Structure 1
Amino acid sequence: MRDPGLFLKEFGIAAAIGATLLIGISWWFLGRKTKRTFPLPSKWRPVGTVSSLRVYPVKSCKGVEAQKLLVGPAALSKDLNVDRQFMIVDEAGQLVSARTHPKSVLINAEIIEEGLLRLTAPDMPPLELNFPSNASNTPECRGIEMDCVIHGRPVKAMDMGNAVSQWLTEFLVFRTDRPAELRLEVRLVFHHLPAGQRRNLARALLHLPFASEDDKSMFHDEIGAAHIISDASLEDLNDHLKGTGTSVSALNFRPNITISGGLPYAEDDWLFVKIGEAVLRTVRPCTRCIMTTVDPQKGEKNENKEPLASLRKYRTVEDETMNKFFNYAPKLVFLGCPEPSSVND
C-alpha cells in the first residue's frame, strides 16, 4: 500500500514531498489500466528536508550541485545545466558509462554559458566546447544526428565532433590499463530535442502501474526524470556494510535529490513527491547495478562489488514477477516523473 500524502520543507523555502494512499487496491493491479491518469493527493504530510540537489549534465560524469532545481517536462535543471543532456557513446552509438569506463566519474562537466560546455579531468587540459541549440552545424560540432542506444532502447542524439572525442578517448581509454582490443574510440553526443524523447514504453507500461504513455526523458537509463534518495536509507546501508571495509555516500548512487529525516526506506511507499510547487510521480524503484561499486572519488570499482553485494541480500523487489522484470537487481533510490500541472516550462 502507498503512504498518505507527505509534506517536506527545504532550507526554509516552501517545498514539499507527497505520496498518496491507494486503499484496497494492490500496487500491481493498477498496472493493468490502459490510458492512465493520476489524481493528485488533496492533503500532504511533512516527512523531512531536502539536504542536497544536483544534476549531471554529462551522463556518468560528475554532478553540479545546486540550491534549487527547475523541474522540466523531461529533466531537472540548474540554470543552463540540464540533467543527462549529454552522454558518451562508442562509434556504433551504444552508451558508454562508468559501468565499463569507471574513470568517467572523475570528469567535471558544466555548461558555463549559453552553448558552451566545459570539461576538466585529472592531468588533462581543460576543454571548452560549443554546442548548438538546434541541428545547425557549428565549427566544433559535426551537426550529424546519430541513432544511439541506451540499454537496448533507441534514442536520437547529435554528435559533438572529433575534438571532444579525442579528449574523452585519451582520458577514458588510452590512460587506462584496458586491453588493446578494448581501446576503442568514444564520442560525446547531445540531446538536441528540448522536449525530451518518449521511448518505447510498452514493456514498462505492462509492469509499472504508475508509468504513463506521456513520460519523457533525456539520456536517463530508465523512465523517470528525477532520482531521489534518503539519508536514512543510506545510513542503514552503511550499517549493513560494517565489516566489509566499505562505506558509501549518496554520490555512489548519483541522485538528483537527497532527503534527510524519516525512517530508512520509507520512500518505498511514496507515490507523489511534492517539492515547492513541483509534483513528481514515483514510477518505479531504482534498481542498482555495478555502477554503484565505482568509487566517486577514485574512479575505481570496489573489488568486492560493494555495496551491490550487500544490497542483494536484503533489498530485492518482493514481488517475484517484478523481481524477474528488474532482473533480480536490488533497489535503492526511486525514480519520479513530473506531473504536467507542476512542470515549469
Structure 2
Amino acid sequence: MSAIYTVKEIYIYPIKSLAGISCQNAFAEEMGFENDRRWMLIDADNLFITQREHRILSQFYPQISDGKISITFQDLKHEFSTDEHIDNPIKVAVWDDQSEVVEVNQSTSKWFSERLGFECKLVKIIKSGDRKHESSRLKETFNVSLADGYPYLMIGTKSLDFLNEKLNEKITILRFRPNIVISSQNAHEEDDFDTFKIGEVDFKNIKPCGRCIMVNNDPENGKLKKEPLKTLSTYRVVNNSVLFGTNIVSLNNGIISVGDEVVF
C-alpha cells in the first residue's frame, strides 16, 4: 500500500465510559495511549460501570493538565492528581479479565457517588500486567488497560462516510469512541490492515471491533437512539457481531501525531 493514509484525529478516554479528549499527539504504550482508560468507576459490588447502563456518564467531561485530571459535569467540577491512589488493591473483573486496581481517593469516589445517585468508587490500574487479555484469535495474551478489550481502536474516515450516507440523521465519529481516526480510501479497509507504522510506533491489527448498544448513545446529550446499530446490522454483521473499526496493538512505545502518515 502506498502512503495515502494519514492520522486525522487522536482521542484518549482517561476514565472508562466518560467523554474523551481530542489530542494533537499521544504517547503509545503497550496498554494503550498514556492516560487512556487507566481509570474507571466501580459500584458497591466492585462491578465496572459503563454507559450501557448509565448513559449520563457521557456527560462527564475530563481534561488533563499539569498532572491533574479535572472532571466537569453540568456546572460542577472535581479535580484529582493523576498519580494519587490509596494503597489497597481491589480485585475486579473487566468482562472475562481479572484485574487489580486501587481507589484514587475517598473524596473523588464520594463526588461521583453524589452525582450518579449510588455508591461507587473511582479506581485506577497502576501498571502493565495488572490486567491481561487473551486473544482467542491469536492465542496470545496482551497487557491491557481498562478498555473493553484491546488497547487501541482505529477507524477510517470512509467507514463513517459510508454509514452516514445511509442514515437520515448524520452522526460523528465520537459515537464509536476511536483512539485513532485515519483518512481512508474505501469503507472498512482498515479491517484488512496487517502491520503498519505511525510516527514512532509500529502497530499490528488484531481484529475488527464488535459493537454494542453504546454506539446508540448520543454523546451530545446522553440520549439513546435507534441508530447506528439498526443500519449497521443490515450490512456489517459477521458471526452475529456488528463490526465497525478495528482493534490494534502497539509493538513498541512512542509518539504519534495528527498528520502522521500510516506506512506499510
What is the TM-score when the length of structure 1 is the normalising length?
0.70
Aligned mates of 1:159, 1:283 — CA distance in 2: 31
Contact 2:200-2:254 within 8 A present in 1 as well: no
Higher mean alpha-carbon deviation, 103-112 vs 251-260, is at 103-112
CA offset digits 1:273-301 (Å, max 9, x no partner): 32112111111111100110111110121
Q: Deviations over 1:60-91 (max 9, x none)?
A: 112121111211121113xxxx1101011112
Structure 1 unmatched runs, 5+: 1-5, 7-44, 134-140, 175-183, 318-322
Secondary structure (helix, strand or coil) at the match of 1:334 reads strand
Contact 1:272 1:282 in 2 (8 A): yes
Q: What is the CA RMSD across the aligned residues, in angstroms?
A: 1.9
Structure having greater relative contact order (Cα 8 Å, sep ≥ 6): 2
8 Å Cα contact 2:12/2:22 also seen in 1:
yes
Q: How many angstroms apart in 2 are the aligned matches of 1:270 and 1:123?
A: 43
Please give the alpha-carbon distance, in whole angstroms, between the structure 2 residues aligned to 1:259 and 1:131: 29
Out of 147, 157, 166, the residue aligned to residue 110 of structure 2 is: 166
1:288 aligns with 2:211: yes
User: 1:198: Cα distance to partner?
Assistant: 4.6
Is 2:78 the partner of 1:152? no
Q: Secondary structure at the match of 1:292?
A: helix
Structure 1 residues 66 and 200: CA distance shift in structure 2, 3 A: closer
- Matched residues in 2 for 1:200 and 1:151: separation? 10
For 2:140, the equivalent position in structure 1 comes to 212
Distance (whole Å) between structure 2 residues aligned to residue 273 and residue 296 of structure 1: 31
SS in 1 for 2:218: coil
Match for residue 191 of structure 1 among 105, 125, 134 = 125
Match of 1:238 in 2: 164
C-alpha deviation, 1:142, in angstroms: 3.6
Q: Determine if contact 1:92/1:148 at 8 Å carries over to the other structure.
A: no
- The answer on whether the counterparts of 1:227 and 1:334 sit within 8 Å (CA) in structure 2 is yes
Q: Secondary structure at the match of 2:83?
A: coil
The alpha carbon displacement at 1:163 in A equals 1.6
Check conservation: 2:101, 2:125, Cα contact below 8 A.
yes
Give the AA of the match of 2:197. K
Q: Tell me what 1:127 maps to.
A: 78
User: Aligned with 2:233: secondary structure?
Assistant: helix
Identical positions, percent: 26
| Structure-2 separation of matches of 1:131 and 1:56 | 13
Matched residue type, 1:62: A
Structure 1 residues 51, 131: CA separation in 2 closer, same or farther (over 3 Å shift)?
Answer: closer
The corresponding residue for 1:75 is 32
Higher helix share: 1
Q: What displacement does 1:200 show?
A: 5.1
Which 4+ stretches in 1 moved above 6 angstroms? none
Gap regions ≥5 residues in structure 2: 256-264
1:103 aligns with 2:56: yes
Q: Provide the C-alpha distance between the structure 2 equivalents of 1:132 and 1:234, rounded to a whole number of angstroms.
A: 36
Which protein shows a greater Rg? 1
Quote the offset at 1:233 in angstroms. Answer: 0.3
Residue aligning to 1:311: 232
Change (3 A) 1:212 1:307: same
Counterpart in 2 of 1:31? Answer: none
Distance 1:281 1:90, change over 3 A: same
Query: Are the aligned partners of 2:133 and 2:143 in contact in 1 as well (CA < 8 Å)?
Result: no
Q: Which has the larger strand fraction?
A: 2
What secondary structure, in the 3-state scheme, does the structure 2 residue paired with 1:46 have? coil
Provide the aligned length of Structure 1 versus Structure 2.
255
Cα 1:235–1:200 change in 2 (3 A) is: closer
SS class of match (1:298): coil
Which of 242, 249, 254 is the aligned partner of 1:344?
Answer: 254
Counterpart mapping for 1:168-183 below 5 A: 168-172=112-116, 174=117
Looking at structure 1, the residues matched to 79 and 163 of structure 2 have their Cα atoms a distance apart, in angstroms, of 39
Report the alpha carbon displacement of residue 149 of structure 1 after superposing the two structures with TM: 1.4
For the Cα contact (< 8 Å) 1:51–1:260, is it kept in 2? yes
Shift of 1:117: 2.2
**Once the 2 structures are TM-superposed, how far is the Cα of residue 131 of structure 1 from its aligned partner?**
4.9
Matched residue SS, 1:48: coil
Q: Distance in 1 between matches of 2:133 and 2:21?
A: 29
Q: CA deviation at 1:196?
A: 4.4
Deviations 1:29-54 (A, max 9, x none): xxxxxxxxxxxxxxxx2232211111
